[in-house]
Chain A
Amino acid sequence: MSGITSSTALWYASRATGIICLVLLTAVMVLGILVNRQGRLPGLPRFAVTGLHRNLSLLAVGFLAVHVATAVADPFVTIGLAAVVIPLASPYRSAWIGLGAVSLDLMIALIVTSLARARIGRRTWRAVHWLAYASWPVALAHSIGSSGDLRGGPLLALAAACTLAVAGAIGWRVLRTLRTPPRARRVAAVLSSQAVLSNQAGAR
């Protein structure tokens, strides 16, 4: 197509894959929260929730690789390979790209520990996995700041929708957790529920 240089193509590719990553990672976050609270997707078996969570995260890694490669390769902006994982190493929009590097570093930790889950043990894996709650908002901030795309129009609406989805999922998780009795009260909770049942039975 006339007028489009390879630089522009790379720049567009980076921005586009970045947006796709944001959407995918939003889905991964929501699904992860669903897995944790044993939520279900209507009509799908339980292993579909965990399976989607895992597969979408790996898909996101793929798009992330393209996003990062095209951004580094683009001659129009200087981002340099180091800046991919080292925050503030990019001469171009240092802070915003830096946030991307932070998010990417956290994601690497998440993915690597999850792939090696059986070897590193339950406790270590869980502790690292909490970093997801840091990784996603940092990725969102990076998306908003690194280009003007998300600051207006339909992409702003998309960013807002992603934020609402994650916030909603977190809110749902917090509510569910508040309603679950702590370990020390679990048996007492079962006893109470049984007392209610036997009272109902007795009343019949």
Chain B
Amino acid sequence: MTARGTGLLIAGSPRPADRPAQFPRLLPADGRPAGLPAHLAQHGPLPYRGGPGRLIPEVTESGLTGRGGAAFPVGRKLAAVAAAGRRPVAVANGAESEPLSAKDRTLLRYSPHLVLDGLQLAAEAVGARRAVLYLHADFSLPGQLASLISERRTAGLDRAEVEVVAAPPRFLSGQETAAVNVINGGPALPAFTPPRTFERGVGGQPTLVQNVETLAHLALIARYGAGWFRAVGTADEPGSMLCTIGQADGSSAVAEAALGTPLRDLLRFSGQVQAVLAGGYHGGWLPAGQAERLALSSAALRPAGASAGAGVLAALPAGTCGLAEMARVARYLALESAGQCGPCLNGLPRIATALAGLAGIRPDGCVIADLERWAGLAEGRGACHHPDGAIRFVRSGLQVFAAEIRSHQQGTCTAAGGRAFLPVPAGPDSENDWRMPR
């Protein structure tokens, strides 16, 4: 259940010649995992500020937003947790439960100390003595990171105690309240908010949850400053981000790109691309022609019904049935529902079944009307945003693959004989699947 391909590294991205050479920022230039000595040699010592709150103005000035998908301003989040008082906890979220995304595990493999630095700096900024590294259970990550943390402890580098917690292999594992539940010893099920995690989270304490890439950026901002961070990207969306780019030929790679980079610099639109999925399985479909003219930013992608999300860009090749792909993913998204909220647990499977019916080339008159109705009922009425993301994925697909749908309703498929393309993991089997096995 990994992103297709082996995750080759592209260390930078094409950029206008007048910008200073800023890349690579997050990933090592030589393409080799950076151990502690190499990390310290390149970036210098961990620049603690000596007390809570002191780093926050600089982070706010940098305009850094969350790189886990929600793009919430980091400075505001840090301030909220710091202000909540009591004994906060800082959590680095590396669950990366989106099947199309590989950037977090790549970052953790190649620049783990940037992430761990960022976690320490964030912990200091909010006044936390306790930190948690919440990781995808696969790819040997928990074991590797645990030994790196030991190494740092021996070197006297870390001030906050870091605990490694493995995330159950569920799509919702990376959701903020679900992550907190797992860290508290429970299943990976989202909780109703309020109270938000910054008010009450791990152990009932105010909790800061940040994506691992966000923390890596933070570690660099603390060393090189807000101005340096803003030197790339756009004025409204400064900085760079890691992207997982899936090409139409099935290869995929993780690349670092400045916000605002045109998508045609990242994806190969060679005429073999039918559509682009921007934002992963909670993102939106774009026709190839439109995607070619858009850039990697919320400003460009949101109005088009997609999202920059956690940097997932996937090209769908011509000759693949977009409707069939949508149906497979929609079924996966339905099975990954926590099943806690009526509208979601009723809406998503009905939508998935209707899409499967459409994809199966069975003329089914009223299905589109039903789909629209169910989408409207499921959206915005869950405790988390899973139904919303799934509906965005489906609605955009209904638009982009409208011609394919009409074909199917008339009994043909333009991509007859095409194989399944998008990676869809097996769904859960039992109640225990939402917990890590002991």
Contacts and interface: CB of A to CB of B under 8 A. Distances in A.
A and B touch in the complex (CB under 8 A): yes
Interface of A: 182-188, 190-191, 194-195, 198, 201-202
A194 B349 contact: yes
B270 interface: no
Contacts of A194: 349-350, 353
Main secondary structure of the interface of B (DSSP, over half): helix
A191 B339 contact: no
Given A183-B339, A198-B357, A202-B362, A191 B431 contact: no
A84 to B, nearest CB: 39
Interface in B400-438: 428, 430-431, 433-434
Interface string B360-371: 001010000000
A190 B431 contact: no
Interface residues of B, number: 22
Contacts of A187: 334-335, 337, 339, 345, 348-349
Contacts of B334: 187, 191
Contact of A188 (B335, B338, B346): B335
Interface of B: 331, 334-335, 337-340, 345-346, 348-350, 352-353, 357, 362, 364, 428, 430-431, 433-434
B340 to A, nearest CB: 7
Contacts of A202: 362
Contact of A183 (B331, B340, B350, B362): B340
Contacts of B331: 191
A190 B357 CA distance: 15
16 contacts: A182-B431, A183-B338, A184-B428, A184-B430, A184-B433, A186-B339, A187-B335, A187-B337, A187-B345, A190-B350, A191-B331, A191-B352, A191-B353, A194-B350, A194-B353, A198-B357
Given A184-B433, A184-B434, A198 B337 contact: no
Given A184-B339, A185-B339, A191-B353, 6 more contacts: A184-B430, A184-B431, A186-B339, A187-B345, A191-B331, A194-B349
Nearest to B432: A184
Contacts of B364: 201
A186 B346 CA distance: 9
A202 B353 CA distance: 13
Contacts of A191: 331, 334-335, 349, 352-353
